[in-house]
Amino acid sequence: MQNLDREIRIWAVLEHEYVLRLYGTVKEFGPFRALVSPWMPNGTLDSYLNRTSVTLTMMGRLRLLQQIAEGLKYLHDNSVIHGDLTSNNVLVAADGSPRLADFGISNIMVQSNPAFSYHTGAVRWVAPELLDPPEGQPIQYATNSSDIYAFGGIMLQVLYGKQPYWWLKTAIHVVSARFKHLEPIDSTIEIQPNHLDFMRRCWSADTKVRPSVDGVLNYLQVALSKETSSG
Over residues 165-188, the pLDDT tens digits come to 999 998 889 999 998 999 999 999
Using CA atoms, how far apart are residues 116 and 131, in angstroms rounded to an integer? 10
Has 46 been annotated as catalytic? no
Catalytic residue among 5, 46, 77, 84: 84
> In which band, very low, low, confident or very high, does the pLDDT at 25 lie, cut at 50, 70 and 90?
confident
User: Which pLDDT score is estimated for 89?
Assistant: 93
In sequence order, the β-bridge partners of residue 90 are 100
CATH class of the domain whose range is 41-230:
mainly alpha
